[in-house]
Amino acid sequence: MMDVVRAKGYVDGYRGQRRSKQGKRFWIEDVTIWNLSDRSGPIQGQAALIATWSDVGKTTVEHN
C-alpha cells in the first residue's frame, strides 16, 4: 500500500486492522493516505483521513 502512495502520491479506499495502545483491535475503513512535501518538493511524510472505524467484531461507526 505504501508503495502505491510513493508512486501515485496517494491511495484511497484502504481498509486495514490496527491495534490500540490498550491492545484492542479495530478496523479502519475508507482511508485516504497521501504524501506530504515541503515547498522545495521532497516528501516529508504521509497524512491520512480515516472516514470510519470500528471495533473488530462490531458494526462500523461513521465519523464525519
What's the number of domains the chain is made of?
1
In a domain, 60, yes or no: no
Quote the pLDDT of residue 61.
58
Whether 27 is in a domain gets the answer yes
- pTM here is 0.75
Per-residue model confidence (pLDDT) at position 25: 95
pLDDT tens per residue, range 9-60: 999 999 999 999 999 999 999 999 999 999 998 999 999 999 999 999 876 5
Give 64 or 15, the one with higher predicted confidence.
15
Examine residue 62 and state whether it is found in any structural domain, yes or no.
Answer: no
Answer yes or no: are the C-beta atoms of 26 and 54 closer than 8 Å: yes
Say if 26 falls within a structural domain.
yes
Residue 63 domain-assigned (yes or no)? no
Residue 25 lies in a domain: yes
Q: Which domain holds residue 27?
A: 2-55
In a domain, 19, yes or no: yes
